[in-house]
Structure 1
Amino acid sequence: MLRVHSFESLGTYDGPGIRLVAFLQGCNFKCLYCANADTIELKGGNKTSVEEIVGMAENQRPFFGKKGGLTFSGGEPLVQAKQLLPVVKALKEKGFHICIDTNGSILNDDVKEVLQYTDIVLLDIKHINKEQHQLLTGKGNEKTFAFVEYLSEIQKPIWLRYVLVPGYSDATEHLHQLGEHFKAFENIEKIEIQPYHELGAHKYEHLGWEYKLKGVKANTDEQLNAAHDILSNYFKEVVIN
């Protein structure tokens, strides 16, 4: 049984086409800007069976068209890789397109098997700089880099995603370093710039946690366009979500 925080129908930002998005419970990072802070703790969520998820997918199949399908997000879906495996297996047997939205910090046998049934990995790169990554997430970024290497070995398509946090992850030098590091990976199809927002701040307060990015303003169009221009030097496609 999967611990599911919530579902979103008709999603258009989490992979190609129109998608059913399952936000799973539990995450091994604690990002300062997390929009779903109530998914961080593994306890909680609703225990959901393979049959329930396949049934929802079948009901929504008419909306998916040729490109759509299911996306497993979170939280960090690969925290529950063992429980996720029978779900993606059953969905793939029914011909559904599957995306996994992950921070790429977990790579074990269960994760490798889940990836066999995954069409696209939406890989959240938090920061190219190790110290800044530690500041933003509480963890280093070495495991994420190793995960990218593995995805390259098995030639699994990647869409990189990068949250542009003013004063934290928008420095020109770091954006160039990000591009330099990933430009050689042929399986990276594009990078999506995710604008920073404070939509998760109230969840921190509800949980009794301090929201440490108070006062950080949303990106200006100028900031987003500047990042877009830099990253366009390195990637086939750059999108501002």
Structure 2
Amino acid sequence: MIGKIHSIESLGLNDGPGVRFVVFFQGCNLRCVYCHNPDTWSIASGEEITPKQLVNKAIRFKSYFKSSQGGVTCSGGEPLLQPDFLIEFLKLCKKNGIHTAIDTAGVGIGKYEEILKYTDLVLLDIKHIDEKGYEKIAGGNYDEFRRFVKVLKKTDIDLWIRHVVVPTMTDSESHINSLRDIIGGFDNVKKIELLPYHTLGVNKYKKMDIPYKLEGVKPMDKEKIKVLEKIIQKV
């Protein structure tokens, strides 16, 4: 079995608890207006690797995992688009006593029950609070997101919620109040992160000759984020 990965961050600190071995999977069906990794979109590119080869790379960092309560995080792109490869990799991680997390927008091609069976933590990126806004922000299938959430809610897996805050699009207090209501429908929420929109990936669009849809939108104001964080933490 062969998977496609974009890159690996061997000592990640922002993608789950502790020190993480972060695998960025190649391929994504969404086209988020603020995406800073357009080079992960096409599943036709990327490095080919087997689950065994990949877990062997992760095992090298087990001492860091144990000392920090860390582990492996499957990110992307979108890891759910390679379900068979993902399942086999997660199985091997669990066999080797490694904590597993998936960083996902919840839009894959099925096998969610099997994937979550070997997952200790889900970092769920909620793109928007309703179908119309979701289409505008992510250009993807809101129904598929709901299917993943339905399966997720049947588990007792720890959950971190993430949401990108974009000026004039997702930065109103009413929007954050609605997001808070949605989050209240989940069990096992251990952390909520409001991620401020930034422009660090703009140069990639220029290099790849892709129009950047948020041209002229300034990075999210840090003081306003603090105000919104107080609202969202009332869950």
TM-score relative to the length of structure 2? 0.94
Which residue pairs with 2:90 in the alignment? 88
SS at match of 1:57: helix
Query: Greater CA deviation, 188-197 or 118-127?
Result: 188-197
Q: CA–CA distance in 1 between the matches of 2:143 and 2:194?
A: 21
> Which AA in structure 1 matches 2:56?
G
Partner of 1:197: 198
Q: Which amino acid aligns with 2:73?
A: T
Provide the identity percentage: 39
| 1:166 and 1:217 in contact (8 A); partners too | yes
In the TM superposition, structure 1's runs of 4+ consecutive aligned residues that sit over 3 Å from their partners are none
> Secondary structure, in 3 states, of the residue corresponding to 2:170?
coil
Q: What's the CA shift for 1:48?
A: 1.1
1:116-172 Cα shifts (integer Å, max 9, x gaps): 110001000011032121111112433323322321212222101111111111121
Deviations 1:75-103 (A, max 9, x none): 00000111211111111100000100110
Match among 80, 98, 101 for residue 100 of structure 2: 98
CA contact (8 A) 1:89 1:117 kept: yes
Contact 1:17 1:69 in 2 (8 A): yes
Task: Name the structure 1 match of 2:172.
Answer: 171
Correspondent of 1:75 among 63, 71, 77: 77
Taking the aligned partners of 2:113 and 2:203, their CA distance within structure 1 comes to 35
Letter in 2 for 1:99: A
Quick check: 13-22 or 185-194, which moved more? Answer: 185-194
1:219 maps to which residue? 220
Alpha-carbon distance in structure 1 between the residues aligned to 2:101 and 2:186: 19
Structure 2 counterpart of 1:208, which letter?
Answer: D
* Mapped contact 1:4–1:23 kept (Cα < 8 A): yes
- For 2:17 and 2:102, the matched residues in 1 are separated by 12
Instruction: In structure 1, list runs of 5 or more residues that go unmatched.
Output: 235-241
Distance in structure 2 (CA, Å) of the matches to 1:9 and 1:161: 22
Q: Unaligned stretches of 5+ in structure 2?
A: none
1:232: which partner in 2?
A: 233
Q: Is the 8 A contact 1:99 1:122 kept in 2?
A: yes
Amino acid at match of 2:82: Q
RMSD of aligned residue pairs (Cα, Å): 1.4
TM-score (norm: length of structure 1): 0.92
Aligned-partner Cα distance in 1 for 2:36–2:10? 18
